[in-house]
Amino acid sequence: MKMKKIITLILIAMVLCMMFSACGSSKTGSDTEGSTPASDGAEEQKDKLAAGLLEQNSIETSARKNWTQANGNGEIRKQVEYKRFDSLNTMLMELGTGRVDFLQLPGSVAAYLAAADDSLIIETKDNSRPNQHYHMAARGDNTALMEELNKAIEALKADGTLDQLVSDYIANADSEPASNALVKNEGGETHVVAVTGDLPPMDYVAADGTPAGFNVALLNAISEKTGCNFEIVQMDAAARLSALESGKIDLVFWIGCWSNDGFEPEEENISLSTSYFEEPLCFVSYSADVLEKIRSIFVRAN
């Protein structure tokens, strides 16, 4: 399986990183970078659990801040240090080398990774924590495209197609998705869509760079409803909004926002589609002890 090969390569890289890290530690004789002794503040920071998260854009950050202001997050912040990364592979390497203790991931991504690496342990958050829901994003002045998308997504919800796609490609996915070609509608307008490959199986990109599975299936279903065409490009998550605003792409496939009743994130010059998928967030670690600590932290905070 390609995913297992990728994870094997990541684990090899982790071992090498640990070896180099050990060499560096013996040279400096310090717990911190360079030769400066660790301060009391550094020791306090060291006692915190380190969490790995994917880097968020301004829209996602706005949604997260709104949720935390409404629900509180102070006690958790005192005990957890959050570190953000620009790709899922980087996060996995940091988890393997021990630079982070656990990852906070969408439930479907955690299940997908654990299926390929049975040493990963998943801890599902309790119901008081936020769900993450996904929207497509377009430029704010492209109202015709957004109206077309929203109408298609609502139609796919109404006729059961969207539920079936989620079941086939996300909820019950037990292997890497098969490659499926994009629908081509002769004479239809073509929209360029950015994917990342960082949220498999929802946003999956094969080892050869080919998107497959849910992302292609959903775009094909929208094509069949609207008569338009899509072209998919892969890019880093952090580059998507700037590429959208500059006109290099027409759509961002997913923006992940924490749910909060009555809140719709806004961004100048960017509009979001209606949500097409929602799922809980969870924790992933190689250590059962770490997950037990995290569970107790969240129980006390609530």
**How high is the pLDDT of residue 64?**
67
Task: Return the minimum-mean-pLDDT range out of 42-56, 87-101, 207-221.
Answer: 42-56
Contact 120, 132 (CB under 8 A): no
Q: From CA 67, how far away is CA 129, in angstroms rounded? A: 10
Let me know if residue 240 belongs to a domain.
yes
Domain count, the chain: 1
pLDDT at 185 over 90: yes
**In 3-state terms, what secondary structure has residue 24?**
helix
d(CA 212, CA 177): 6
pLDDT at 136 over 50: yes
If you average pLDDT over residues 278-297, what whole number do you get? Answer: 90
Measured CA to CA, the distance from residue 60 to residue 56 in angstroms comes to 6
More confident residue, 107 or 40: 107
Residue 2 placed within a domain: no
Residue 120 lies in a domain: no
CA distances from 254 to 88, 97, 138 (A): 15, 29, 11
Give percent of the chain above pLDDT 70. Answer: 72
Contact indicator for 92, 286 with CB cutoff of 8 Å: no
Query: How much is the average pLDDT of 253-280?
Result: 79
Instruction: Using the predicted structure, report yes or no on whether residue 145 has a pLDDT greater than 90.
Output: yes
167: Cβ contacts below 8 Å, ≥ 6 apart: none
- Give the rounded percent of residues in the chain with a pLDDT score beyond 90: 55
User: In terms of residue numbers, what domain contains 248?
Assistant: 132-280
Lowest-confidence region among 92-101, 136-145, 170-179: 170-179
71 lies in a domain? no
CA dihedral of 129, 135, 137, 141, whole degrees rounded to 10:
-110
SS3 string of 64-98? HHHHHHHHCCHHHHHHEEEEEECCHHHHHHHHHHC
Region 35-45: mean pLDDT is 41
Dihedral angle, C-alpha 210, 214, 219, 224, nearest 10 °? 120
Query: Above 90 in pLDDT, residue 7?
Result: no
Does residue 77 form part of some domain? no
Structure tokens that stand for 148 in this block: 């077309």
Note the pLDDT of residue 144: 96
pLDDT, mean over the chain: 81
- pTM value is 0.79
Q: pLDDT tens, 147-171? A: 999 999 999 999 999 999 999 999 9
User: Is the confidence at residue 88, as pLDDT, over 80?
Assistant: yes
Check residue 44 and give its pLDDT. 47
Please check whether residue 107 lies inside any domain of the structure.
no
Q: Is residue 295 part of a domain?
A: no
Residue 202 domain-assigned?
Answer: yes
Contact in structure between 258 and 132 (CB atoms under 8 Å): yes
How long, in residues, is the chain? 302
CATH number at residue 238: 3.40.190
